[in-house]
Structure 1
Amino acid sequence: MSETRSPLIVTRRALVGSLAVASGGLLSGCDALNANQGWRDTLRLAETGNMALQRAIQGRDRLAREYSPRDIGRSVPANGTRAPTDADYLKQAATGFTDWTLTIDGLVEKPTRFALGQIRSMPKQTQITRHDCVEGWSAIGKWTGVNLAHLLDKVQVKDSARYLVFHCADTLRAGPYYESIDMEDARHPQTMMAWALNDELLPIGNGAPLRLRVERHLGYKHAKYVRRIEAVADYRLAYGGGGGYWEDAAGYEWYAGI
């Protein structure tokens, strides 16, 4: 289906690309600003306003553009962690993830541990979408998985839950990787837990065996190696409080909508 682009969205995408190729001196200045709590609070206020405006323009269920099979690239680059070093993950990978489970708990009526085979047997959805990285590159791939809302309905998320925190198997220099999204994005029709890419099971570099696809956001929100989803009232109580690894470590925006 076609995508209607607003000037707001084009400007935001272009801005991200510009920041990604900024000079070392500029990045050093950004690091200094990021360390200033007053500056970070100002950015948070601007981010909240941007999210509200963007959602008002786009609407709740506006879809990310979907492409045809002929648009699929040769590969979707493996970015960030390419192979977790967690001992349990390595053990699971050695056996083809046959014992991998996804736990969904927190503010839910029925905390559940889903086996990977169980997830793969659920009604699947497939979409060909573009992955946009904050570093400035993009790639089109065919993703297959289970709609996240389907899983949330099974565990019966409580009304008090406003966000989901995704706990991952990989650890980077500053700590464990995690991400979070709100319930509006969690229940978007294109948001899924993907287990296949381009008609093959996910490669390890792309997040095997299970990763988040939240198509209206930049790539760092698409958590890889997901093993637990926690429903919470406030994402700021998790880890460093920013809502994600890069939000904590580098001051990235929590809302990365495009």
Structure 2
Amino acid sequence: MSQVVLITGIGKRLGLALASHFLAQGYQVIGTYRTAYPVLDELKQQGADLYQVDFYQQTQVDNFIAQLKQKYTSLRAIIHNASDWLPDNAQKEDVQYSAADIMQKMMTIHVGIPYQLNLRLKTLLKNSDIGGADIIHLSDYVAEKGSKKHIAYAASKTAMNSLTLSFSALLAPEVKVNSISPALLKFNEGDDDAYQKKALAKALLPKEGGFDEVIQAVEFIFNSQFMTGRNMQLDGGRHLK
């Protein structure tokens, strides 16, 4: 039977790259998404078990966890990739979010959801038939640096890193728990030349890290037998600029 990996937020970018990678490696991939993108049909055709879940709706979270417990007896890993990136002056349809709304959303998606999944699925992780399992929190380099325009986001990623410390202690030795904190991986479509130039200048290695950088880091964690409770920094040397 294939080893089962749960990846949250697989609709695009890094989550999609991770899902595609592990499917190609022969894993059974469980994926969550909030918005249905056409590319998800390709993942389904490759065998991915996909669930549309709005992590801001607790009822949907509860239903999703219940379905997993009913269908699966073990998990090789949980990779917490689902994310949101609201600036502190976020607006939607000409309505500005309150500061409380922004902080609640950031803490829910980056802390509350990993916390719930880790606790409520820990038995499946401990049942891994390979003699060990992994939880990986995909954090952000700004968790240590802070951010003037994304204060709530940065704070929530710092809290996510704290989950790594606590869960590594709670779940050892059966489950290793680590974080990966990338900086710039890939520009978005529409990022203009001026923005790209400014962003690249923030690092000692002025280039996009690429999704493969994180995939290789995940593979390293999977293969490691002696690392838990740590945070891997993939930031191009930004901390030294």
Q: TM-score scaled by structure 2?
A: 0.24
**TM-score normalised per structure 1:** 0.23
The higher-RCO structure (CA 8 Å, 6+ apart) is 1
